[in-house]
């Protein structure tokens, strides 16, 4: 069982084997210009993504849904979702970004006004600063508690879901509060509502997620099929990306500040954090020169891979130099730190600019 509210690290190969997630690389050749995260294997799996490939190639209508639960600060690992959204926006997708304020209330005890504030100041500001076009008419950002289409649909869909099923999927017990038990139904409705007639009717829909969110995807796909004759839903597709490793090893998590570089960190703080990160270097320089480092076990290399180095050839070169011991961690870290500082300097300016737009975007969506 995978618990979407815990932070356990997931064994990716096991997911592919046991839960029927398909390897993403099989589809790479079908995309004209796959996203860098797809090309580099960070987006590693999918369910029914062929429908989305077809829609992109034929330039037909499709939707992307990816929610955010406003419960803390955004860290650099969260940037992966925004990067993918920008790519989908360029492909003409309808983009839906539900802000799961009902879930943060039921699962984390955060009040609605506070959740709204976190969503605006933290998430929406960063999404815009990272490059999502807020003026795209196909972009819909909304609070789930204020979207009546979604809450009504959740209630209708819940008619055909029972408690045994929720227990089996999520491990809910007799002491789980009812609001928490109901919260996944809101997510199911978030994912399926773009296919309602009032939102343009049935269309392929993809949900890019981390593998910890797969229980929601499986439940949604099952429910879409149960209601197929009533709503003509096309079973939603999904993609799965690897998590970024935290600065101390393990998973990067907003609730463990020592593991994370936050997008709101100053360039100097971000730089300092990166310099303290765990590397795949050896005990001594002599040993590293002789045996080489282990880039696969290095947070610095991962930062370059996921975020900081767009050139595949330069990345390959660093990988090779590391493996053969011709580059030492000090030099390599300094290189990554320069890039990190530039990125954070630029982001800081863009965050300032994005703030005003972020404050109005939720009101615009409702009007």
Closest CA to 289 of 299, 297, 281: 281
Q: Rule CB under 6 A: say whether 271 interacts with ligand SF4.
A: no
C-beta closer to ligand SF4: residue 206 or 332? 332
Among 169, 185, 295, 307, binds ligand SF4 (CB under 6 A): 295
Q: Rule CB under 6 A: say whether 306 interacts with ligand SF4.
A: no
Q: Which x/- pattern, by CB under 6 A, does the window 174-193 give for ligand SF4?
A: --------------------
Q: Which of residues 316-335 bind ligand SF4 (CB under 6 A)?
A: 322, 327, 329, 332-333
C-beta closer to ligand SF4: residue 215 or 293? 293
C-beta closer to ligand SF4: residue 287 or 346? 287
Q: Rule CB under 6 A: say whether 293 interacts with ligand SF4.
A: yes
Q: Rule CB under 6 A: say whether 279 interacts with ligand SF4.
A: yes
Q: Rule CB under 6 A: say whether 300 interacts with ligand SF4.
A: yes
In angstroms, how far is CA 283 from the centroid of its own chain?
35
Residue 301 beta carbon to ligand SF4: minimum distance, rounded to whole angstroms:
4
CB atoms near residue 359 (< 10 Å): 13
CB atoms near residue 180 (< 10 Å): 17
Which distant-in-sequence residues (6+ apart) come within 8 Å of 308 by Cβ? 336, 339, 340, 343
Q: Rule CB under 6 A: say whether 98 interacts with ligand SF4.
A: no
335-340 contacts at long range (C-beta below 8 A, 24 or more positions apart)? 336/274, 336/300, 336/303, 336/304, 336/308, 337/271, 337/274, 337/275, 339/304, 339/308, 339/309, 340/261, 340/267, 340/270, 340/271, 340/274, 340/303, 340/308
Considering CB under 6 A, how many residues would be counted as binding ligand SF4?
Answer: 13
Alpha carbon distances (Å) from 133 to 100, 128, 297, 366: 21, 6, 35, 18
C-beta closer to ligand SF4: residue 166 or 327? 327
Residue 282 beta carbon to ligand SF4: minimum distance, rounded to whole angstroms:
8
User: Which H/E stretch holds residue 310?
Assistant: none
C-beta closer to ligand SF4: residue 276 or 360? 276
C-beta closer to ligand SF4: residue 234 or 308? 308
Alpha helices in 256-328 (DSSP H): 267-275, 285-291, 299-303, 312-324
Q: Rule CB under 6 A: say whether 274 interacts with ligand SF4.
A: no
Residue 254 beta carbon to ligand SF4: minimum distance, rounded to whole angstroms:
24
Q: Report strand pairing: 43-47 vs 22-23.
A: antiparallel
C-beta closer to ligand SF4: residue 337 or 354? 337
Q: Which x/- pattern, by CB under 6 A, does the window 118-147 give for ligand SF4?
A: ------------------------------
Among 128, 206, 298, 358, binds ligand SF4 (CB under 6 A): 298
Q: Are 218 and 210 in contact (CB under 8 A)?
A: no
Q: Which residues bind ligand SF4 (CB under 6 A)?
A: 279-281, 293, 295, 298, 300-301, 322, 327, 329, 332-333
């Amino acid at each position: 069982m995978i618990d979407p509210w815990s932070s356990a690290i997931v064994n990716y190969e096991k997911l592919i084997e046991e839960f029927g997630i398909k390897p993403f690389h099989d589809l790479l050749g079908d995309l004209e210009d796959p996203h860098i995260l797809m090309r580099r294997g960070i987006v590693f799996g999918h369910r029914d993504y062929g429908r989305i490939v077809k829609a992109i190639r034929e330039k037909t209508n499709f939707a992307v849904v990816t929610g955010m639960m406003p419960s803390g600060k955004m860290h650099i690992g969260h940037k992966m979702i925004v990067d993918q959204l920008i790519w989908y926006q360029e492909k003409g997708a309808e983009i839906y970004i539900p802000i799961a304020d009902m879930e943060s209330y039921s699962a984390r005890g955060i009040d609605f006004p506070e959740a709204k504030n976190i969503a605006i100041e933290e998430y929406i500001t960063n999404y815009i600063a990272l490059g999502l076009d807020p003026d795209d008419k196909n972009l819909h950002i909304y609070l789930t508690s204020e979207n009546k289409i979604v809450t009504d649909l959740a209630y209708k869909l819940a008619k055909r879901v029972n408690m045994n099923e929720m227990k089996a999927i999520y491990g809910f017990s007799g002491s789980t509060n009812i609001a928490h038990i109901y919260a996944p139904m809101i997510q199911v409705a978030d994912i399926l509502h773009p296919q309602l007639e009032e939102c343009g009717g049935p269309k392929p829909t993809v949900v890019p997620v981390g593998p910890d969110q797969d229980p929601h995807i499986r439940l949604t796909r099952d429910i879409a099929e149960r209601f197929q004759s009533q709503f003509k839903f096309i079973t939603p597709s999904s993609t799965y990306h690897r998590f970024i490793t935290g600065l101390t090893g393990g998973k990067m998590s907003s609730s463990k500040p020592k593991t994370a570089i936050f997008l709101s960190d100053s360039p100097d703080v971000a730089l300092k954090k990166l310099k303290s990160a765990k590397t795949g270097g050896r005990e001594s320089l002599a040993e590293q020169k002789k045996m080489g480092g282990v880039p696969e076990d290095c947070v610095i290399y991962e930062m370059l891979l996921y975020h900081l180095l767009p050139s595949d050839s330069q990345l390959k070169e660093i990988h090779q130099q590391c493996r053969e011991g011709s580059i030492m961690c000090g030099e390599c870290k300094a290189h990554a730190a320069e890039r990190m500082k530039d990125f954070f300097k630029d982001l800081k300016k863009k965050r300032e600019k994005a703030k005003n737009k972020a404050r109005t975007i939720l009101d615009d969506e409702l009007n």
